């Protein structure tokens, strides 16, 4: 899928995959890919700036965790992030309903066949 397809929805995708619990960057990429059935493939150059921005705005927090000799930055939702995710989900439902109404129109109101 084209990178443009996720533009405008990246924040919601990142917040959604972090809802169950903290993940490091590569695990976030894998979670998006797995949950999308392999359709969405995010690049590190896309997600890390977004994760940093979401952290600066208070929607995520992060901490360093060690895995063997390797240290990884793990991200998790804040309460503000959970509220924002709820709003993203509502906006997505409204958006898809509106687009669906245009792409798959039903009979016009008040008209009978």
CA diameter of the chain: 70
Residue 55's pLDDT is 97
Indicate if the pLDDT at residue 3 is higher than 80.
no
Reported pTM: 0.84
In 3D, which of 45, 52, 98 has the Cα closest to residue 75?
52
Q: In terms of DSSP H, where are the helices of the chain? A: 10-18, 25-35, 44-56, 79-103
Residue 80's pLDDT is 98
Supply φ then ψ for residue 62, to 5 degrees: -140, 160
Task: Round to whole Å and give the CA distance between 100 and 61.
Answer: 35
Question: pLDDT (tens digit, 9 = 90+) per residue, 77-95?
Answer: 999 999 999 999 999 999 8
Residue 105's pLDDT is 84
Task: Round to whole Å and give the CA distance between 40 and 99.
Answer: 20
What number of other Cβ atoms are within 10 A of residue 37's Cβ?
7
Cβ-Cβ contacts under 8 Å for 63 (sequence gap 6 or more) = 22, 73, 74
Mean pLDDT of 102-113: 73
Q: What is the mean pLDDT of the chain?
A: 90
The pairing of beta strand 70-77 with beta strand 23-24: antiparallel
Indicate if the pLDDT at residue 68 is higher than 90.
no
Pick the CATH number of 3-90 from 3.30.2320.50, 1.10.10.10, 1.20.1260.10, 1.10.10.60: 1.10.10.10
């Amino acid at each position: 899928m084209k990178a443009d397809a996720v533009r405008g929805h990246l924040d919601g995708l990142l917040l959604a995959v972090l809802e169950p619990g903290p993940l490091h960057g590569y695990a976030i990429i894998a979670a998006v890919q797995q949950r999308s059935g392999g359709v969405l493939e995010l690049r590190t150059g896309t997600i890390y700036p977004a994760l940093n921005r979401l952290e600066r705005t208070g929607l995520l927090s992060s901490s360093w965790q060690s895995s063997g000799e390797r240290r990884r930055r793990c991200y998790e939702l804040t309460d503000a992030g959970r509220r924002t995710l709820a709003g993203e989900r509502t906006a997505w439902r409204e958006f898809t309903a509106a687009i669906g109404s245009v792409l798959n129109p039903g009979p016009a109101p008040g008209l009978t066949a």
